[in-house]
Amino acid sequence: MGASNWGMVWTAIMPLAVILYYFFRKKYKDQRVSSTLFWQEQMKELQASPYLKKLQHHLLFYLQLAALLLCVLALLGPFSESETLAGNDFIFVVDTSATMLAGSPSHFEKHQQEMKSLAAQAGGKPVSIVTTGASPEVVVRNEQNLDAIEQAVDQLAVSYEKAEMEQTILFADTLAANDSTVIHIFTDTLDRDLLANKTDQSYKVHGVSETLRNLAIQQFGLSETEDGVRGIVQLVNDSDETLSALVRLSAGATEKTVEVELAAAEELLVPFEELPADKNWQATVDVRDDYAADNTMATYLAPPGNAVVIDSALHELIASGFRSLDLDVRLADTAQLQPDSGLPVVTNQSELLEGAVPILLIGRNDETAFEVSGQIETQEHPLFAYAELEEVYVSELYPPFDGYETIALISGQPFIQVSPVGDIVVLSDVESTDWPLFPSFPLFLWSAMNSLSGDEEFLGFFQPNEHRSVSLASDTGEWEIFKDGDYSHSYIEGEGPFIAPSEPGVYEVIGDAETKTLIVQLASEEKTLTAGSSYTMGVAETAQDTVRFSFVPFIILLILLLVAVEWEVYRRGIETR
């Protein structure tokens, strides 16, 4: 509290003058006395307390005196001061990774309260809020309204994806208006080396020094054996004390459990033998720790899809196209194309179709090609989700297979077919087309590999909010995503990449009459808790350290109210005369 204009204290003589005026003002009124015998008694009563009686019968006086006192107070300029943040504008970088859910209350909830407190101390200075992730997002920009800032903070949510703090800080740097901008980073831990070379900006890191208990499922995998399915759960005790836990594996009505105990910083592999051949499995660890997001992990029993066997007699461009997809390309002689590994085979040997091995047939060895001309017309199919063939030139085609589905034509002649068992047939040699010159060629090979080596009902493993191209095609072009029967969001084909849900778990992707399974898993970095600290780096040019709130506007409102009441009292007094 203070006053900005003490020189106006002399105005206090004005209410004193009013008081003196009322004390000594003479006022006469008619007084009827019934007898001279009572005259002395009446005078004694009036002279006993003349000043007090004057004051008691003058409401107008009180109102005028109160208004004058408030005027004097307003002229003194009363105000209150409170501490404000150093800097002229602020950027809040908010870590929304999964580890911010650790603790009770969570680190994220504590940071939300801290952000509100700092925003209140900003004193109306601009505040921007940026969330972390692969694509940092600006929640508010240069906001000065405290209510709007608090509402934005309340609406923040954990996205579960990796923080990507380095690129988020670089993004926040681009929002800084000048050297007086202070960037507040709200996270659990941040390496000082990330800010060591940033001398042109001021950073305030709000870390968490609390050491928590955590037992995480680091990895969970399944493999097929002669005795059934084998599962292995890798546990890591990321704590300073021994923890006991119950590991549970479940799929449908099947459930198996194992009790374990892990010492501090211990890793343990927990095997599960002779499991039934279900595809969707979930591992859960029941343990009393401070971080639940890494206590559950789902997986899918799918065939391997990272390698392909290519007939060495085919053109080298085919092998080059697969190598560009970072696949393990294995060349084999035509006579040795009977692998027992179950890997997809790329060849022109028609006799291998509809066998035990998935086949991508390019050309035919049992027929003669004929000339063709015209533009390629494609049907709705996942193989063409990202591979457009309209501009591809094809000079020769082979005769089609009877009973196969035709998904691409040239002048009414089948160009690409799909067998009843899922084999893919391209009825042309690479030498008879300019397809390898187009980006659609490796994209088609990628889609073909996904179709041949993977399970058509399984869309894949994703990290939270991961953007990825997927092979999805339906008549309506819309896919709805559900988790445990609850709607999550929709994906429209052709409107950008597919975006995975943020929360880990098993999801169903439903389009028309087709349903696919999608699994979202936490990144390995989000399964380790590390105690951090709070610190400051860089120096900001601060304009002021306190903010001043004046009481004068409120005093003026009170004076106006008193004047209104005084007028009403005066009006009523006139009417009663």
Of the chain, the end-to-end C-alpha distance in Å amounts to: 46
pLDDT tens string 8-34? 666 667 667 766 666 555 555 555 655
Residues 107-111 have a mean pLDDT of 96
Q: Which of 240, 244, 301, 299 is nearest to 268 (CA)?
A: 244
pLDDT tens string 399-441? 999 989 999 999 999 999 998 888 899 999 999 999 999 988 9
Q: DSSP readout, 378-416?
A: E-S-GGGSS---TT--B-EEPPPPTTPEEEEEETTEEEE
pLDDT tens string 278-300? 889 999 999 999 999 999 999 98
**Which are the contacts of 546, defined by CB distance < 8 A and separation ≥ 6?**
81, 82, 83, 84
**Which are the contacts of 519, defined by CB distance < 8 A and separation ≥ 6?**
298, 299, 300, 460, 461, 462, 505, 506, 507
What mean pLDDT is reported for the chain?
Answer: 84
Weakest mean pLDDT among 72-76, 232-236, 238-242:
72-76
> Helix, strand, or coil here: 312?
coil
Q: For residue 392, is pLDDT > 50?
A: yes
Between CA 340 and CA 355 the distance in angstroms is 12
Domains observed in the chain: 2-80+551-575 (no CATH), 85-211+529-544 (3.40.50.410), 215-300 (2.60.40.10), 307-453 (3.40.50.880), 459-524 (2.60.40)
Question: What is the model's pLDDT at position 543?
Answer: 41
pLDDT tens string 444-501? 998 888 778 766 688 888 889 988 777 777 778 889 999 988 999 999 887 888 899 9
Question: What is the model's pLDDT at position 277?
Answer: 83
Weakest mean pLDDT among 71-85, 499-513, 518-532:
71-85
Calculate what percentage of the chain has a pLDDT beyond 90. 43
pLDDT band at 336 (very low <50, low <70, confident <90, very high): confident
pLDDT tens string 120-155? 888 788 999 999 998 899 999 999 999 999 999 999
pLDDT band at 308 (very low <50, low <70, confident <90, very high): confident
